[in-house]
Amino acid sequence: MDIGFIGLGEMGGAIAGNALKAGHTVRVWNRSRDRTKALADQGATVVDTPEQAFAGDAAFSMLADDSALRSVLIDGGLLKHAPKGLVHVNMATISAALAGELAELHAQHGVAYVAAPVLGRPDVAAAGKLNILAAGADDAIERVQPIFDAIGQKTWRVGREPQHANVLKLAANFMLASAIETFGEAAALVSGHGIETQSFLDIITNTLFPGPVYQGYGKMIAERRYEPALFKARLGLKDVRLALAAAEAVDTPLPIGSLLRDSLIDAIAHGGGDKDFAVLGEVAVRRAGR
């Protein structure tokens, strides 16, 4: 396929790289040009404007947040000048509110729109093992499936309403944050009684709670080592905030979400914003004066 790719952060860069590896033609654009170099080395065509990337069979975007996306896509007039028949695949984790707004705007401008946020951190993206939550018109998803196959291990079709994919992504990240906070609190409890956190972690990951989340974040908490960050606490707070807003939009209290927000602000206030999400474990022991 011939695709454009907008936004080459750690996630975007890894994804675009896998599309290239699979033999697709990729035009890349990024606000700060220095991030395009690595992709050019892998065979991408670097373009000067987002418009040039918003062309071909499909355009993928992976921008940092609502504000970056809004600025490039809406204020920058990208949508207005998009070629007929283009499919836009938005992989970023954005608010449910903007997701709904974008679905309408694309329809108005005759651009097919697929929301495709992903589960997985940069290392998973680099390995082409992402789980893709894709929502939008069936034929639009069909057309970009070859790219999804190149970058992920599985595409989860989650319906026709693009914003549903974003809500699901936020709900998943909310659960992730809660799992970290919960293990952090449990670790503070057992270590307070003189039990090794690692022993506790071994038991629960081999019984009730298998899987990468508890193993990965749990290990950082057991070792009290939060750098280098695989996913920064600051980004975690952003996602929790979006989950809270998505819940409020449907009049749904999310008490665990509220608690997570406070713990993350505490982490950031203590210099943990650029540390790993697992730094929630540090908040739990600090509350215990340890």
162-191: which residues touch a second copy (CB under 8 A)?
163-164, 167-168, 170-172, 174-176, 178-179, 181-183, 185-186, 188-190
Query: Following DSSP, what letter does each residue of 243-281 receive, concatenated?
Result: HHHHHHHTT---HHHHHHHHHHHHHHHTT-TTSBGGGHH
Closest approach, Cβ 267 to a second copy, in A, equals 9
Q: Which is nearer to a second copy, 46 or 204 (CB)?
A: 204
Size of the site for a second copy (CB under 8 A): 73
Q: Which is nearer to a second copy, 29 or 217 (CB)?
A: 217
Q: Which is nearer to a second copy, 49 or 258 (CB)?
A: 258
CA distance 289 to 286: 5
Closest approach, Cβ 1 to a second copy, in A, equals 26
Closest approach, Cβ 120 to a second copy, in A, equals 8
Query: Helix (H, G, I), strand (E, B), or coil: what is residue 210?
Result: coil
CA distance 139 to 48: 30
Q: Which is nearer to a second copy, 46 or 235 (CB)?
A: 235
Distances in Å between the alpha carbon of 257 and those of 76, 90, 176, 238?
34, 25, 11, 12
- Cβ atoms of 20 and 152 within 8 Å: the answer is no
Among 2, 142, 227, 248, binds a second copy (CB under 8 A): 248
CA distance 35 to 21: 18
Residue of 169, 232, 238, 275 marked active site: 169
Considering only residues 259-288, where is the footprint of a second copy by CB under 8 A?
A: 259, 261-263, 265-266, 268-271, 284, 287-288
The identity of residue 120, as a single letter, is: G
207 scored as a contact of a second copy (CB under 8 A): yes
Q: Which is nearer to a second copy, 43 or 192 (CB)?
A: 192
Closest approach, Cβ 81 to a second copy, in A, equals 24
Among 29, 54, 200, 226, binds a second copy (CB under 8 A): 200
Considering only residues 132-161, where is the footprint of a second copy by CB under 8 A?
A: 133, 154, 156, 158-159, 161
Backbone torsions φ then ψ of 2, nearest 5 degrees: -115, 105
Active site (annotated) includes residue 80:
no
* Cβ neighbours, 10 Å, residue 81: 11
Among 48, 75, 84, 208, binds a second copy (CB under 8 A): 208
- Cβ atoms of 176 and 166 within 8 Å: the answer is no
- Cβ atoms of 90 and 134 within 8 Å: the answer is no
Considering only residues 210-229, where is the footprint of a second copy by CB under 8 A?
A: 210-213
Considering only residues 64-123, where is the footprint of a second copy by CB under 8 A?
A: 96, 119
| Pick from 55, 163, 155: nearest CA to 99 | 163
Residues labelled catalytic: 169
